[in-house]
Structure formats: C-alpha cells, structure tokens
Amino acid sequence: MLNLVKRIYLNNLKTRLNSFFHQENTYIIPLMGVLVLIIGGLLYWHLFILNKNINNLQNQKIKLSKTLSQTQTSYLALKNQNQYKINQDLKGQINNIQTTYGDSITSYQNILDLQSENQDTSDLTKLYAQTVKFLAQINYTSASASLKTLQTNIKTAQDKFAASQVTTAQNNTNVTTSNTPPSSGFSVQQVQTSSGAFTVYIIAADLNSTRVIVDTASDGDCSNNCPVLPLDNYISRSGAYAGINGTFFCPVDYPSCAGKTGSFDTLLMNKNKVYFNSANNVYSNVPLVYFTGNNMGVRTASSQWGRDTGVDSVIAMQPLLILNNQIVYAGSDDPKFGSKGPRGFIGNIGSTVYIGDVLNANMSDSANVLHTLGLNNALNLDEGGSTALWDGGYKLGPGRNIPNAVLFVRK
C-alpha cells in the first residue's frame, strides 16, 4: 500500500515538472535569441571600430614612412653638399654687398667734390639716385652695372674739370715754361716731365725771412663736429701773406664722415705750440715735416718725432713724395691717388720753402713734377674740393672750409 502511494506521488511530481519546463521554454528560447543578437551586434561593432583604427594606423604608418624617406633624402643631400663652396659663395655675396655699398659712398663723395668746384653734377646725381634705388631693392647686379657707369661718368667729369683748370691758368695767367722753380713769390709755370707737361701753381719763400706756421680752427683735439674755416680767414687772423690748405680731414657732407665731421687724425703742432692727435700717433707711420729757423726737416714716420715745442710748426700728411732728392712715392691702391686733379704740396730746396698745386695730375705725376723742379723734399697736402692757394688773394679755390692751414708769415 505504501509503495502504491509513493509511486502515485512521484508520477504526479514528474507530470508537474514536465508541465513547468514546457511553459518556461516558451520564454527562454526567444530571450536567448535576443541576447545572441545583441552580443553579436556588439562584437561586430567592436570589430568594425578595430578594423577602422587598424586602417588609420596603417595610413599613418605610410605617411610617416614617406616623411621619413623625404627627411633621409634631405639629410643625405645636405650631408653631401660642399659646405666650403657654400660658405665661399656667401662670403662672395657679402663682399659684393660691402664693395658695392662702399663704392657708392665714394662715388657720392666724388660728386660732392665736383659740386664744391661749382661743376654741374645734375646728371651724375640722377644716376647716383638710380644706383641707390637698386641697392634698396637688393638688386646688386643692376646696382653694380649702374655704379660702373656712374664711376666712368664721374671720372670723365673730373678729367674735364682738371683740364679746364689748366686751360683757365694758361688763358688768364702769364704761364712760363720752365723746370726751375721761382726763387721767391708766386709763379705759374709749365713743367716738362718724362710723363708730359704739367701746369704748376707755386709760391716760394726764404726761410731766413719767412716763418712757416700751422693754424687750426680748433684750440685742441676734436673728434666730431669740429670747427672749420676758409683759408682767407686763417690768413687774416694770423697775419700771413700766403698759405695753402693743410691735412686730409672729414668734410661734413661726406656720409663716411658721420660721427667725425671736421676732424683730422694726423699729428700736428699749431702756432700756439699745441699738439693735436698726439696719443693716436705714438706708433704712426704717417710722414711729417717740421720747420725751425731756416730749415725744413722730414721724418718718414710720425713715431720718429717727439713732442718738441721749440720748433715753429709740425704737420704730418701722406704720402711723402720726395726725400733727399729722390722720388719715394711708390704708388697706392687708393683710387683717389690715381685720379687726375690738383695735387697740393709743401717742400723745400735748402732754405727755400715751396707750397703749391700741380694741376691735372695724379699722385705719381705730382712726385715726378716736383722731382723735375729739383725739390729736395716734398710732402703731399689735401686736394680735391679742399684745394685752396693764397698769395695776396686766392690763386686757387677757395674750396670748402678746412680745419687747418699752412701759412707763410714774415719774421
């Protein structure tokens, strides 16, 4: 009986369980399908994003590889370049710029010199303005070509003016043809040399009766914005009867003289026994002449001279042309020394002192002329737009105002 009840109970339980699981399968299978679809969709999306990122990385790799290849190519090209050649080319360009600029300044200053002689420079000024325009545009090829034309035209104008001075002298003055200098006073003469005939304006004085002094516009050393005066002013205030312009100096209108206008840098002792530029000329090779009693002395370098105030005057200039009856000027790279124009000088034969100008001459011509005249010693003085010579009035000049002058005064 017990077994029968047990069997009935188990059969009933089995029936209930089968019924339950049959009902649950109705809900579980669709839910599992939905979950599978969701999980599959998510996996697909992640795979899509992953593939996209992989493609992006591959594209970036291609770009980086290309950039790296280009960089390597540039590096190898740079590594294989001839740096010496490049540096030399750059050096050449810099030198060309410096040369062109320097030449343009020199040309402008030459134009100013012509203007100081009352020459018409309008065409030269226009050409100079064109040259400057090319320089401002960094067009150095055109600037150089324009500059060469300008230099040629300036030289033509300088030669024309120099020749006109000779013609004027011959037309307006009693010019004598003689290779012998005057014993005293003023003379205009034509000197025949191995390199041609040259007109010379020359003043002679006896050192036994004439004292040579140097007058200065400044009372002492001056480095900028220094005073300058016309030659006739020096003549009148010093009671001189003759005189000539003195040393090279920096004119106020020269661009290269900015910051040092009116100054000169060579050794000089003025009439008041004041030495100029003494500290700057301790080791100077610039030659000088000095006057004491009835003698003109020469030193081939300023460094050879003390600061003696017992002499009448000291003036250093360059170049030295004649020393002990021999030409000592051996040429120069300075283009101004090679151009034609009036060449100032001071020299002597024994106790006779001479000042004057050789017209239409370069520096070598001047040395040759003075040697032909028989001068024992001769030193060059400033020229160009500063040319001024006085003997009872201007014989040449007046030229621009000057910082110093060499004067003849009676003892």
Q: What is the pLDDT of residues 132-146, one digit of tens each?
A: 888 777 777 888 888
**Could you tell me the residue ranges of all domains in the chain?**
20-60, 113-172, 175-410
Contact (Cβ atoms closer than 8 angstroms) between residue 262 and residue 228: yes
Highest mean pLDDT among 69-78, 100-109, 210-219, 248-257: 210-219
Instruction: Give residue 21's pLDDT.
Output: 47
CA distance 282 to 267: 9
| Amino acid found at 1 | M
Highest mean pLDDT among 62-71, 119-128, 157-166: 119-128
| Amino acid found at 5 | V
* Mean pLDDT of the 358-362 span: 94
Contact (Cβ atoms closer than 8 angstroms) between residue 349 and residue 376: yes
382 or 156, greater pLDDT: 382
DSSP run (H or E) holding 394:
strand 394-396
* Mean pLDDT of the 169-183 span: 84
* Mean pLDDT of the 65-86 span: 66
Instruction: Give residue 132's pLDDT.
Output: 81
- Residue 99 — φ and ψ, nearest 5°? -65, -45
In whole angstroms, what separates CA 25 from the centre of its chain?
A: 106
Instruction: Give residue 282's pLDDT.
Output: 93
Q: Give the pLDDT band (50/70/90) at residue 70.
A: confident
Contact (Cβ atoms closer than 8 angstroms) between residue 162 and residue 357: no
Contact (Cβ atoms closer than 8 angstroms) between residue 315 and residue 289: yes
CA distance 256 to 249: 11
Q: Give the pLDDT band (50/70/90) at residue 150.
A: confident
- Indicate the burial class of 64 (C-beta count within 10 angstroms; 0-12, 13-18, 19 or more): exposed
CA distance 151 to 135: 16
CA distance 96 to 144: 9
β 404-410/389-391 pair status: unpaired
- Indicate the burial class of 37 (C-beta count within 10 angstroms; 0-12, 13-18, 19 or more): exposed
Q: pLDDT tens digits, residue range 307-345?
A: 999 999 999 999 999 999 999 999 998 888 988 889 999
The reported pTM is: 0.73
Instruction: Give residue 78's pLDDT.
Output: 59
Residue 402 pLDDT more than 90? Answer: yes
